[in-house]
Homo-oligomer: A and B are copies of this chain.
Amino acid sequence: MSAIRAVQNSRDPALRHFGAVRALTEALTEPLSDADATVQSMADASPAKWHLAHTTWFFETFILRDHVSGYALHDERFPYLFNSYYEAEGERHVRARRGMLTRPTLAEVRQYRAHVDAALADAMPDLPQSARTLIELGCHHEQQHQELLLTDLLHLFSCNPIEPAVWPGQRKVPVRWPGEMGWIEHDGGQVEIGHAGDGFAFDCEGPRHAELLHPHAIADRTVTNREWTAFIEDGGYAEPRHWLSDGWAWVQENGISAPLYWDKRDGVWTRFGLDGRRPLDPAAPVTHISFFEADAYASWAGGRLPTEAEWEAAASGHDAADGNQLDRAGPVEPRPAETGPAFFGDVWEWTGSAYRPYPGFHPAEGAVGEYNGKFMSGQFVLKGGSCATPRGHVRASYRNFFYPHQRWQFTGVRLAKDL
C-alpha cells in the first residue's frame, strides 16, 4: 500500500484523487476478516473482496491494458472473475455465485490492488488525456462501490443471528429533533436540469435540458423515524389502499411490516447498523425503505413523491458537498441536518420518476457505454446521496437508480404535493 501513500502526496491532482479514493476503499475494509470479505449474502449484494478486486479490474482493463504498452495482467484469470456486467468485455463469473470465490484470498486481492496502483502511478505521467478521463471515471466508479461495499456489509452482518458490528463500540452521538417539516413552494415553469459544464458527470446525467414544472411544494427535510412509526401504528402496512398494486403484493409475499433492519424488542424499536443493533433514533431520517414503502407513506400522508426535476430544481442552490456524507471509515448512519433545508447526504431520496433517458441522451461508445443506459427500465431515480456516499461524489444532477422493492441502500423519502 505504499504506492497509495506515495500518490496521495503527488503534485498531480488527478493522481492525488486516485490515491485518496483507493485509500478510502482499503480503510473501509480494514475491520474485515477474510471470511467477512468473501461471503455474499444475497444476489443483489457482492462480497467486499469482489468490490476491492472489481474496481481494480476497471483500472487494469481500461487504463493499463488498453493504454500502457507491455503491461502484463497481474493474473490472467482475474478478468473472468471480476468483470461485472460489461458484456463487451466477454464472459464472466455469474453474479449470484460471487460468494464462492474463497480464493484469491483477501490478502491476494490486496496485492492485486497494490500492483495496479503502482503500475498506474508509474504510467500516469505518460498517459494520454483519453486515459486520464477514464481514470476519473474509474475513481467515480470506485466511489460508487464504496457505498455498495458499506451497504453490502451491513446486509451480510445482519444475516448473522449473533449480529456482529462491523465497527463495534462506537460512541453514539445524540440526535436532536429536526423540528416540524416545512414546505418550499414553486410556482411552476421551465427549469434547466441535468449536467453541463466541465466537471465530471456520468453520461446519464445529460444532456442538460429544459423541463416544465407544475406548481408544487416540496418538503424542507426528509421523513423521520418518529413519523414513520406513526405510519406503522396507524396500520400503514396493513391497509392496501395506500399501496401500489406491485407494492402491496411485495408486502404480502415478504411479510413486510417495517423498514429493513428494524426489529421491536421488548416493546422498543431497534435498528441494525454498521455499529450493531441499537435503539432507533426517533429524530433521525427513516432509512432502508423501498420505493413502495416511500410511495405508500406519501399516500398515507396526503402527499406524493417529488419528481426528479422538482427535486433538482429545489436542490440546485445547495452545496452538494455539505451534509452528512462519507469522509472516513466508520459506522455511518443518517442524522438530521442541524440548520436549514438539506438536500444532500443522510439518505438517498426516492423520486416518483422512472429512470429513463434524458432528451438527446446517447450512451458512451465502447464497454464503458454499458455503464448506465442499459439499466433504464423498471427502476426509479433517487437523488441527493447518503451518509455512505463519499463526499465529493454526488451532484444535484446525479441520478442514482434502484428497483422499487430494493431497500438495502440508505434510502429515505421527502414529501411533495401539488399546489
Instruction: State how many angstroms separate the Cβ of A302 from the closest Cβ of chain B.
Output: 10
Contact A211:B212 (CB < 8 A) given known A35-B106, A160-B100, A353-B356: yes
Count of interface residues, chain A, beta-carbon cutoff 8 Å: 65
**Taking the complex as formed, is A360 at the interface, i.e. its CB lies under 8 A from any CB of chain B?**
yes
Given the complex, which residues of B lie within 8 Å of A164, measured CB to CB?
A: 102-103
Give the nearest-CB partner of A88 in chain B. Answer: B241
Interface bits A80-104 vs B (CB < 8 Å: 1, else 0): 1100010110000100010111111
Contact A246:B212 (CB < 8 A) given known A35-B105, A93-B161, A100-B159: no
* A39:B88 contact, CB within 8 angstroms: no
**Taking the complex as formed, is A146 at the interface, i.e. its CB lies under 8 A from any CB of chain B?**
no
Given A35-B106, A39-B99, A77-B162, 18 further pairs, Cβ under 8 A? A33-B102, A38-B38, A38-B39, A38-B102, A87-B248, A88-B241, A102-B164, A103-B160, A103-B164, A210-B212, A244-B374, A244-B375, A245-B377, A247-B377, A292-B377, A354-B356, A359-B418, A377-B380
Q: Can you list 12 A-B pairs, Cβ within 8 angstroms, ordered by A?
A: A35-B37, A38-B38, A39-B99, A85-B245, A87-B248, A93-B161, A100-B159, A243-B374, A244-B374, A246-B375, A354-B354, A360-B418
Give the nearest-CB partner of A211 in chain B. Answer: B212
* A80:B36 contact, CB within 8 angstroms: no
Contact among B34, B41, B240, B245 for A33, CB-based, below 8 A: B34
Contact among B35, B101, B214, B244 for A102, CB-based, below 8 A: B35
**Taking the complex as formed, is A291 at the interface, i.e. its CB lies under 8 A from any CB of chain B?**
yes
**Taking the complex as formed, is A209 at the interface, i.e. its CB lies under 8 A from any CB of chain B?**
yes
**Taking the complex as formed, is A376 at the interface, i.e. its CB lies under 8 A from any CB of chain B?**
yes
Contact among B103, B244, B357 for A162, CB-based, below 8 A: B103
Q: Which residues of A contact B (CB under 8 A)?
A: 33-39, 41, 77, 80-81, 85, 87-88, 93, 97, 99-106, 156-157, 159-162, 164, 190, 209-212, 214, 216, 240-241, 243-248, 291-292, 295, 304, 352-354, 356-357, 359-360, 374-378, 380, 404, 418
CA distance A209 to B307 in the complex (A): 16
> How many copies of this chain does the complex contain?
4
CA distance A292 to B374 in the complex (A): 11
CA distance A88 to B285 in the complex (A): 32
Given the complex, which residues of B lie within 8 Å of A99, measured CB to CB?
A: 39, 99
Give the nearest-CB partner of A353 in chain B. Answer: B356
CA distance A216 to B209 in the complex (A): 14
Instruction: State how many angstroms separate the Cβ of A242 from the closest Cβ of chain B.
Output: 10
CA distance A161 to B378 in the complex (A): 32
Given the complex, which residues of B lie within 8 Å of A162, measured CB to CB?
A: 77, 81, 103-104
Contact among B102, B159, B356 for A156, CB-based, below 8 A: B102
Given the complex, which residues of B lie within 8 Å of A304, measured CB to CB?
A: 357
